Amino acid sequence: MDKKSISDLEQKISAEKGIHTDFKNDMTYGEYLGLDAILSSQKRLSEHHDEMLFLIIHQVSELWMKLIIHELQAAITTIQQGNMQPAFKMLARVSKIQHQIIQAWDVLATMTPAEYLQFRDSLGKASGFQSYQYRLIEFALGYKSKHILKIYEKDQAILNELKQAYEAPSIYDVAIEALVKAGLEINPALINRDFSVVYSGDDSVAAAWKTVYENIDTYWDLYQLAEKLVDIEDALQQWRFRHMKTVERIIGFKIGTGGSSGVNYLRQVLDHRFFPELWDLRTTL
C-alpha cells in the first residue's frame, strides 16, 4: 500500500466519529473472547518452528468439535421434542463446521516428515486418538466403544461425561423414534434398546425410510432429516479419509504416539457406517 493510500485510509478511520477508543471501564473484544487464555495456550515442548502449526491446528479443531457437540446435542433434544425445523438448522451448521475441519488437514500437510520428527518425541504418548470430544461426536452419531473409556480414567469429570453420552440415544436412535411417531412401523425392540450397543441395522427401519423416500410430500420433515444425516456422515468420512492420508503423508505406517496402528487403524474405521439404511436405500429405491 503506497503512502497516499495509507493517508486516505487514516482519514476515513478518523472520520468515523463514533468509534470507541476509551475502554478503561468497558469490556474489550479480547476480554469478551478470553483471548489472553486462548492465545497463551500454545506451549511448545520443543524449539522447532512447526510445533506451533501442530498445536494450533489441533486446538482449532477441538474448538470446532466443541461447537459440533453443542449443535448435535441440541438437535437430538429438539428431534425428541418433535421440533424438526430448528434441528435442520443445527445439523446444516454441523456440516459446514465439518468442512472447516476437513480443510485444516491441508494446512497440516504442509509439514514434512523430517520436520515432524524434530518434535514428535516431545508428544510422549499424547495423541489425537485420545480426543474425548471426538469420542463424544462418535457417541452422538451412534458409534460407541466401551473399551475406549479406559483412556479417560485420569479425569473423572470427562469420564462421567463420556459415560453419560455412551448410554444416551444417538441422533439416529431419535430419528428412528421420529419414524415411529410419524406412524411408520418399526421393530418395537429398537425403541427401548440398550443405546450403548452400536446399531447395526434393521429391516423395519429400512422399510420405513424407503416409504419416506417414496412419499416425500407426506414425510417431508423426515426426508429432510434423513438427508441432513447423510450430509453429516458423508463429511465425517471425508474428514476420516483426509486424516488418514495426512498421517500417511507425514509418518507413513509408523505406530501412532498413542499406541494405535496409525494409518491401518484409520483405514479400518472408514468401513463403519453410522446410518446404514440411509445408504442402502440408494440402491433399493
pLDDT at 228: 98
Q: Which residues, including other chains, have CB under 8 Å from residue 8's CB and lie 6 or more apart?
A: none
The pLDDT of 129-153, averaged and rounded, is 94
The pLDDT of 227-252, averaged and rounded, is 95
Angle (deg, nearest 10), helices 171-181 and 132-141: 20
Q: Which three cell numbers stand for residue 158?
A: 470427562
Q: Which residue has the higher pLDDT, 11 or 167?
A: 167
Q: Is 147 annotated as a binding residue?
A: no
- What average pLDDT does the structure give for the chain? 93
pLDDT at 129: 87
Q: Is 116 annotated as a binding residue?
A: yes
pLDDT band at 6 (very low <50, low <70, confident <90, very high): low
Alpha helices in 83-191 (DSSP H): 84-108, 113-117, 132-141, 156-167, 171-181
Q: How many helices (H) and strands (E) does the chain have?
A: 13, 0
Q: Which residue has the higher pLDDT, 51 or 272?
A: 51
pLDDT band at 1 (very low <50, low <70, confident <90, very high): low
Q: Which three cell numbers stand for residue 7?
A: 493517508
> DSSP secondary structure string, 181-220?
HTT----GGGTTS-TTSPP---HHHHHHHHHHHH-TTTTH
* 170-223 pLDDT, tens digit each: 999 999 999 999 999 999 999 989 999 999 999 999 999 999 999 999 999 999
Q: Is the pLDDT of residue 9 over 70?
A: no
For residues 13 and 33, what is the distance between their CA atoms, to the nearest angstrom?
24
Of 142, 190, 199, nearest in space to 165 by CA: 142
Q: Is the pLDDT of residue 71 over 90?
A: yes
* 240-260 pLDDT, tens digit each: 999 999 999 999 999 888 888
Q: Is the pLDDT of residue 155 over 70?
A: yes
Question: Using an 8 Å Cβ cutoff, are 109 and 251 in contact?
Answer: no
For residues 268 and 125, what is the distance between their CA atoms, to the nearest angstrom?
22
Residue 284: how many CB atoms within 10 A of its CB?
11
Q: Is 120 annotated as a binding residue?
A: yes
**Residue owning grid cell 510422549:** 124
Q: Is 257 annotated as a binding residue?
A: yes
